[in-house]
Amino acid sequence: MKIVSISSAAIPEVKLVRFARFPDNRGYFTEPFRASDLAARPELAGLAGRAIVQVNESFSRKGVVRGLHFQWNPFMGKLVRTLSGRMLDIVLDIRRGSPTLGRALLFEITAAPDDPETDWIWVPPGFAHGNAFFTDTQIEYLCTGEYSPGHEAGISPCAPDLDWSAADPRLRGEWEGLRTADPVISAKDTAGLTLSAWLDDPRSRQFVYGRC
């Protein structure tokens, strides 16, 4: 795995990992994941010791919004990438006691056959996660916990009490345009909680800053 760069987001526990592709006249080859290469990087200490135990893939049509999802017992961290298309990734800090509790970030992750590099985003436990799509898009995420029915919840990405102040202004403008244009959202995600309703829920005490 040829890691080109690792950068911290406005919430430093969230990381962007850029890795290289090797193109030639036939197309390209890439090694998108090697556990030992990631484990050797001190910037990814939050991923150290967490085994990848489940791989998920999804395809979303233009105008779809998913999330914001999270799980406990076990906690689930995610390495997320775009396989084809364009994803607007949404990450929300839900850790009690965190200085960035309630802050939401946006990341643009694209993938096209001619791209010489592409990205993972590392979403650690303690963050709610979702996506929005402006074109038909296929994504993959590697999970550090197996899906556990009965130990999951969701916050609506359209909840009025999320703090978008640290989000990229251009991406926030795109998100607001999609949010107000009747996006395609599942009934489950439409019924997602507000942040304040989640924090009033006793289950929210599963997520504490420094313990997830």
Active site residues: 69, 141
Q: 168: Cβ–Cβ under 8 A, 6 or more apart, which residues?
A: 106, 108
**Domain parsing of the chain, residue ranges:** 3-204
Q: Is the pTM of this model over 0.85?
A: yes
Rounded CA-CA distance 39/157 in Å is 32
CA distance 206 to 73: 9
Q: What is the pLDDT of residue 60?
A: 98
Give the integer Cα–Cα distance in Å for 132 and 35. 28
DSSP assignment of 45-58: TTTTT----EEEEE
Q: What is the pLDDT of residue 209?
A: 97
How far apart, in whole angstroms, are the C-alpha atoms of residue 169 and residue 154?
A: 25
The second-level CATH assignment, the architecture, of 3-204 is: Sandwich (2.60)
- Predicted confidence at residue 5, as pLDDT, reads 97
pLDDT, residue 160, reads 96
**pLDDT tens track, the chain, 212 positions:** 999 999 999 999 999 999 999 999 999 999 999 999 999 999 999 998 899 999 999 999 999 999 999 999 999 999 999 999 999 999 999 999 999 999 999 999 999 999 999 999 999 999 999 999 999 999 999 999 999 999 999 999 999 999 999 999 999 999 999 999 999 999 999 999 999 999 999 999 999 999 98
pLDDT value at residue 212: 86
